[in-house]
Amino acid sequence: MAHRSWCAETPGTVSNERLEFLGDAVLGLVVTDHLFRTYELPEGELAKVRASVVNSAALAEVAEELDIGSALLLGKGEDASGGREKPSILADAMEAVIGAVYMDGGWEAAEVLVMGLLGERIGEAAEGPGGQDFKTRLQELAARRFESLPRYDVRDEGPDHAKRFFASVAVGGLVNGKGEGRSKKQAEQAAARDAWTELSALAAAAAEAQPEDPAEPEDPAEKEAAGPISDSNERGA
């Protein structure tokens, strides 16, 4: 798949941007159609569920799971700066794949692909639309502020009938959240909530700490031109 940075350095090649455009539309329609037919939810809640899976953070995570980054054709500068791991580039590439599958196999093939990749996420989001899906919230925050994706590490303890799962999540190489639960999903959600809470607080604190614009220094030339304040002026005041 050819990124525009590759095309800029390789005359005569065409990027995947047209396929990205098509794939974005196909993705949205597949998810919308599935939600409408499957869930008896009001319009606003359907929109929230769709937004939780049809976004660059979710697509980038799926692309990373599929190792799409290794299949990208990137310009030298983009490649050297870590373009194969950038969420925005991975999300666009995932859209291009969906568009290509639609062009090759039509609606049915595209629907099978999209639901195979996002069906579980849709189900999770529909259980509590707009509410407690902290994995999605953390994905969006990490993609927006750190240009990276959360990475989860999960271990389990105990016998099969009473396992307990423990998860940690790292953003930007640092462990930001930990959680546990009776399933892997619960543990990851707990860790995501812990990390999202911490990173959101740090972002808010950083915004508050931004210094106000300092007052412009007085121009010595203007001060000299104005002259000293006379005694009469002071007495008149």
Instruction: Kindly report, residue by residue over 104-160, the tens digit of the pLDDT.
Output: 999 999 999 999 999 888 887 777 644 457 887 888 888 888 788 899 999 999 887
pLDDT of residue 138: 87
Q: Categorise residue 112: left if φ over 0, alpha if ψ from -120 to 50, beta otherwise.
A: alpha
pLDDT of 23 higher than 80: yes
Q: What is the CATH number of the domain that holds 172?
A: 3.30.160.20
Same domain, residue pair 126 and 146? no
Average pLDDT of the chain is: 81
Of 185, 176, 181, the closest CA to residue 135 belongs to 185
Least confident range of 83-92, 165-174, 189-198: 83-92
Domain count, the chain: 2
- What would the pLDDT profile of 25-49 be if each residue is shown by its tens digit? 999 999 999 999 998 888 888 898 8
pLDDT of 208 higher than 50: yes
Residues of the chain above pLDDT 90, percent:
28
Q: How far is CA 45 from CA 29, 41, 111, 136, 168, in A?
A: 16, 6, 22, 16, 30
pLDDT of 222 higher than 60: no
| CA 154 distance to own-chain centroid | 21
Q: What is the CATH number of the domain that holds 67?
A: 1.10.1520.10
In a domain, 230, yes or no: no
From edge to edge, which strands make up the β-sheet containing 174-181? 151-157, 164-171, 174-181
Q: Which long-range contacts (CB under 8 A, 24 or more apart) does 7-12 make?
A: 8/75, 9/75, 9/76, 10/73
pLDDT of residue 44: 86
Do 96 and 19 form a contact (C-beta atoms < 8 A)? yes
| Catalytic, out of 45, 78, 92, 95 | 95
* Burial category of 200 from C-beta neighbours within 10 Å (exposed 0-12, middle 13-18, buried 19 and up): middle
At position 6, the amino acid (one-letter code) is: W
Taking the model in full, what pTM does it have? 0.57
pLDDT of residue 229: 46
Same domain, residue pair 30 and 68? yes
Strand (E) or helix (H) holding 174 = strand 174-181
Same domain, residue pair 115 and 146? no
Do 123 and 34 form a contact (C-beta atoms < 8 A)? no
Token pair belonging to 197: 């809470």
Torsion angle (degrees, nearest 10) of CA 203, 204, 209, 212: 110
Same domain, residue pair 36 and 69? yes
Q: Does residue 133 have an active-site annotation?
A: no
What's phi and psi for 206, nearest 5 deg?
A: -65, -35
pLDDT of residue 70: 84
**Which position has the token pair 């990749």?**
117
In a domain, 229, yes or no: no
| Catalytic, out of 24, 45, 133, 194 | 24
Domain range for 73: 4-131
| CA 10 distance to own-chain centroid | 30
